[in-house]
Structure 1
Amino acid sequence: MLNLTYEYKLKPTSSQIAIFQDWLEQCRRVYNYALAERKDWYRSRSCRINACSLNCEYIIPANAPRPTYASQCRGLTTYRKTSENLQQVHSQVLQQTLKRLEQAFVSMWEGGHGFPRFKKLGTIRSFVFPALGKNPVQGNAIKLPKIGLIRFRQSRPIPDNAIIKQARVVKRASGWYVMLTLQWDVPVPDILPHGEAIGIDVGISHFVAVSNGQLFPNPRPFKRLERKLRLLQQRVSRKQLGSNNRAKAQAKVSRLHERIANTRKQYHWELAHNLCDWAGMVFAEDLNLKGLAKGMLAKQCLDAGWGQFLGILRGCCFKRGVYFQKVDAKKTSQTCPECLVETGKKPLSQRVHSCQYCGYTTDRDVAAAQIVCIRGLAAVGHTVKMLCEGKHIGVPEKKESSRL
């Protein structure tokens, strides 16, 4: 079973945009009401039993069960009968909002995330249709329940043998989009190690260093547009709260943020395809991205977007039949790829690897990428003699590519 998500830009009418905005607001209110119900239940169980609280009291019976997704769905069904606004929204869309809240609590319990927060006006920007009718796509239009046909820009064709399982309508600064989850009932074979191997090392001075010696620059999309973003945010702060001019200024800030994100993502996709052109096996470091995002170089790490790039690279390798695997990232910059001896820590200002034992000299990031390649080859069980054939360990022959 294979699932992929195709994204298309919608071309809704003014009346359809009004429906979208109303549905987002109703989803936000349902989310906040369900969160308040759960929060009150938790606080009522944390009050002291021998003293009254000076702030507030939660009069909830002691035998009242904890609110869950199932119980809140039943309550939603009862309340929809008395609310005309909620009756305008598809019932499954509201249920998906409650499921979103349930997932937030699961992330708090299992993923170490914080307690879910209430959503401000305009914070919720998407709603989901978990099921669509038969043949929802008709030409260049898609039929959504209770809304009808909506035109969209079909940037790529939808395969005939794919089943549309769900649709997510997303609001962005540049317009409205629909994300279709497609499912193919086909077996997905596992990609086995084959062909040449390369290791990559992500960094800040160079975005990616490859074990074959190639260095890719860091585009730094946020840093290049940071000054313009600062000026636009200053204009927003000088506008009156709630005015139309403030909303227009905030829209410009949102469009610039989307431009930065699109620039970064486009570069990641081009680089991922470039790496897949070179080899049949790609190895990368298994980094602690959350820890790096809290260090002194957090701003530069987040601007680079290593987590998004590694996710895109994994998906690109899967679609193109390239084997991808992460390896241990410890001491990759402290080990010589020629003699495999630890050379000690290097300051960040030292950009050249020079081994004091064997004399091997190369770029610091390239040496780390070669160590990643060596560890990847060892992980998949290949020997040096089988894959290197007299060449440098883990350094495949460099090929030309025209993508970047």
Structure 2
Amino acid sequence: MLNLSYEFKLKPTPAQAVVFEDWLEQCRRVYNYGLAERKHWFQSRSCQVNACSIRSEFIISAEAKRPTYASQCKSLTAARASIPALGEVQVHVLQQTLRRLEKAFVSMWEQKHGFPRFKKAGAMRSFVFPQLGVNPVKNGTLKLPKIGLVRFRQSRPIPDGATIKQARIVNRASGWYVMLTLQWDVPVPSVMPHSEALGVDVGLTNFIATSNGLLVKRQKFFLDAERKLKLLQQGVSRKKLGSNNWKKAQKKVAKLHEYIANCRKDWHWKLSHQLCKDAGMIFVEDLNLVGLSRAMLGKHCLDASWGQFFTILEQACFKNGVYFQKVSAHKTSQICPSCGVETGKKGLSERTHSCSNCGYTTDRDVAAAQVVLIRGLAAVGHTVKMLSEGKLVGVPVKKECSHL
């Protein structure tokens, strides 16, 4: 069973665009009301039993149970009967909004995320149709419940035999988009380690350095557009808050941000496919991306977007039949790939690796990529062979077979 996500550009009529915007607003209100209900319940139980703070806490009956997805769905049914605006929205769309709120609390408990926040006007960007009818896509149109046929630009065909499970309508600065989730009942082959291996090290001076000596400079997408972004944001600050000119200026800022993200994503895809051309195995570092984004160079790390690159590289490897695996990033820049001796920390200005034990000298990032390659080959059961030109090659370990 294979799950796919296809994204298409919607071309709704002006009346349909108004309906989309109204549904987003109703979803935002349902989300905020459900969050307020849960927050009040938590606040009523955040103080001592014998010292309740009337000034800062809410008093809720001790018998009241914690609001859950099921209980809030029951309250939603009653609210739809009394509030006409909610009744116009498809019920499953509103239920998915409550499920989204439930996932936010689960992430807070299990993944240590922060407490969910209220969404201001315009902050809700998408809503989901969890169920669609039979064959909802026909002749470049998508049939949505309670909305009808919506035209879209079908840039690629839907695979034969794939079932459309749900549709997410997304509002962006460049227009409306739909993300179709497909379920395709085909066997998914698992890629096995084979052919030539490649270790990849990421950085800020060089975006990537590979174990065979390839160095790719980092593209500064956000920093290059920062001056223009500053001027556009100044234009927003000079407009009257909430006016039509203020909204137009905000849209220009949003379009620039979307352009920067699209350029970065396109470059990541092209680089990923280039790496997959001549490799059968690719190994990368398992970095603490959250910690790096909060460090002194966090702005540059976020501009490089290593997490997105690793995700795209993994997808490109799957498409091209290349084995992909992450390995430990511990001290990759402090170990000599030739002899394995720890050489100590290097300053940021020190760009050359020179081992005092064996005399092996190469670029600092290339040496780190070679260490990543060695760890990756060891993880898949290969030995490492160093050639005369300094190239590392993985040799499979021959296992003895015992005959009964």
Does TM, scored on the shorter chain, surpass 0.5? Answer: yes
Q: Please state if 1:134 is matched with 2:134.
A: yes
- Counterpart-to-counterpart distance in 2, 1:191 and 1:287: 23
Encode CA deviations 1:143-183: one digit per residue, 9 max, x unaligned: 11111111111111111211111100000000000000111
> Gaps (5+ residues) in structure 1?
397-404
What letter matches 1:394 in structure 2? L
Matches of 1:152 and 1:355, distance apart in 2? 59
Confirm or deny: 8 A CA contact 1:384 1:393 kept in the other structure. Answer: no
| Residues 266-313 of structure 1, C-alpha deviations (whole Å, 9 max, x = no match) | 011111111111201000000000110111110110000000100111
Q: Secondary structure at the match of 1:282?
A: strand
Paired residue for 1:261?
261
Measure the CA separation in 1 of the matches of 2:350 and 2:321: 37
Provide the residue aligned with 2:331 in structure 1.
331
**Is 1:27 matched up with 2:42?**
no
Work out the CA distance in 2 between the residues paired with 1:389 and 1:232: 54
Give the Cα separation in 1 of the matches to 2:56 and 2:352: 63
2:384/2:393 contact within 8 Å kept: no
Q: How does 1:30-41 map to 2 (within 5 A)?
A: 30-41=30-41
Shift of 1:242: 1.2
1:148 match: 148
Residue equivalent to 1:206 = 206
Deviation of 1:190 after TM superposition, in Å, equals 1.5
State the shift of 1:56 in Å. 4.7
Moved more, 171-180 or 237-246: 237-246
Structure 1 distance, partners of 2:304, 2:391, is: 29
SS for the counterpart of 1:179 is strand
Equivalence for 1:118:
118
State the distance in 2 between where 1:14 and 1:26 align.
19
Shift of 1:389: 7.2
User: What percent identity do the matched residue pairs reach?
Assistant: 68
| AA of the residue aligned to 2:264 | R
TM-score normalised over the length of structure 1: 0.95
Partner of residue 104, structure 1? 104
CA distance, structure 1, for counterparts of residue 196 and residue 52 of structure 2: 71
Corresponding letter in the other structure for 1:55 = R
Q: Which residue of 389, 392, 396 corresponds with 1:394? A: 392
Inter-partner Cα distance in structure 1 for 2:59 and 2:344: 63
Deviation at residue 339 of structure 1 after TM alignment: 1.4
Between stretches 52-61 and 174-183, larger displacement belongs to 52-61
| 3-state SS, counterpart of residue 326 of structure 1 | strand
Q: Which amino acid aligns with 1:289?
A: L
Letter in 1 for 2:124: I
Give the superposition deviation at 1:49. 3.5
Check conservation: 1:198, 1:395, Cα contact below 8 A.
Answer: no
Runs ≥4 residues deviating over 3 A: 47-52, 388-393
Residue equivalent to 1:401: none
Report the CA distance shift for 1:167/1:146 in structure 2 as closer, same or farther (over 3 A): same
Q: 1:57: Cα distance to partner?
A: 5.0
Structure 1 residue 340 displacement after superposition: 1.5
Contact 1:212 1:395 in 2 (8 A): no
RMSD value, Cα: 1.4
SS in 2 for 1:358: coil
Question: How far 1:189 sits from its partner (Å)?
Answer: 2.0
Kept in 2, the 8 Å contact 1:31–1:101? The answer is yes
SS at match of 2:392: coil
Query: 2:24 and 2:2 mapped to 1: Cα distance?
Result: 30
**C-alpha distance in 2, partners of 1:323/1:77?**
49
Cα 1:151/1:352, change in 2 over 3 Å:
same
- Superposed displacement of residue 394, structure 1: 2.8
2:348 maps to 1:348: yes
- Is residue 321 from structure 1 mapped to residue 335 from structure 2 by the alignment? no
Distance in 1, matches of 2:345 and 2:233, equals: 41
**CA 391–182 in structure 1, closer or farther in 2 if over 3 Å, else same:** farther
Determine the structure 2 residue equivalent to 1:80: 80
- CA shift at 1:395, angstroms? 5.4
Partners of 1:317 and 1:4 in 2: how far apart? Answer: 16
Residue 43 of structure 1 deviates from its aligned partner by 1.1
Q: Distance in 1 between matches of 2:13 and 2:238?
A: 33
Q: Distance in 2 between matches of 1:177 and 1:233?
A: 26
- Residue correspondences, number: 394
